[in-house]
Structure 1
Amino acid sequence: MLCYDTYVLGNLTCTYVFTDVGLVSFEPEAKATKWRPSADWRRRLDDHFSGKSKLTDFDMAGTAFQKTVWRAIADIPRGETRTYTELAQIVGKPKAARAVASACAQNPLLFVIPCHRVVAKHGLGGYKYGTALKQQLLEQELC
């Protein structure tokens, strides 16, 4: 069963979806149709975003390659970035920078799997919700 709740992250209200297996999606301003508040998931998200612990149980749909990329992105420390090329090397596909960028664009767990930490060789690169938000998220992590 899919369950939904909202989580306030800074000045953004995000909707997250979870199952008994793990987190399915986490996006800003998404609309949910069935609400099931979860104190456990809210506490786990608080711990994740405060740096006390790291979420590792995900229930995401995606290809094996996408899931590998998403897990590698989740390992990028707060306040650091990697280029699409570096991430391609990390996942063992050094010529797959464009495929890594595509996996970033399909990330269902924005902020939890921090694809804003993946940047282009010569600049920010793209971001699902715009480069202004990507820049803001990177700057917040440096504080």
Structure 2
Amino acid sequence: MKDVFAEAQRTSAAIAFVGHNAAEFLPLRHGDSIVVNGTPRPTKLDSIARGTVDPHQLQRWFDAGAAIYLHPWLHAKLIAVELANETHATVIGSANVSQHAQNDLEEGTAVLSIPTSSRPCTAQSSNGSTKLTP
């Protein structure tokens, strides 16, 4: 998976939960975007308040220039990547971006590559999402 992200020109992701080391597994930068499970105002059910979404990782991505969106019911695990070699890769799987998913769980992931001339898949969730701002 790190090979895909090393070649990424732009990344768009929808990943429900992100752990304390998420930026190591999914390096996001200016022009990239991610939707995670969460709400702008903490509640007892909010993933950020419960610790299943690490706010420090969100800040790290935000500081790198990525757009961060919060969706209260998101459970997706999808990443769309534009690659330098004129293809798009779509990563579909069961894993969240966390050390627990990386090291402890049995997860499944498929990486699909398509030429740029095909219609690219992008991960977005506009219905019910809130853009995170400083």
Instruction: Bin the TM-score by the shorter chain.
Output: under 0.3
Larger % of strand: which?
2
TM-score by length of 2: 0.28
TM-score by length of 1: 0.26
Larger % of helix: which?
1
- Relative contact order (alpha carbons < 8 A, sep ≥ 6): 1 or 2 greater? 2
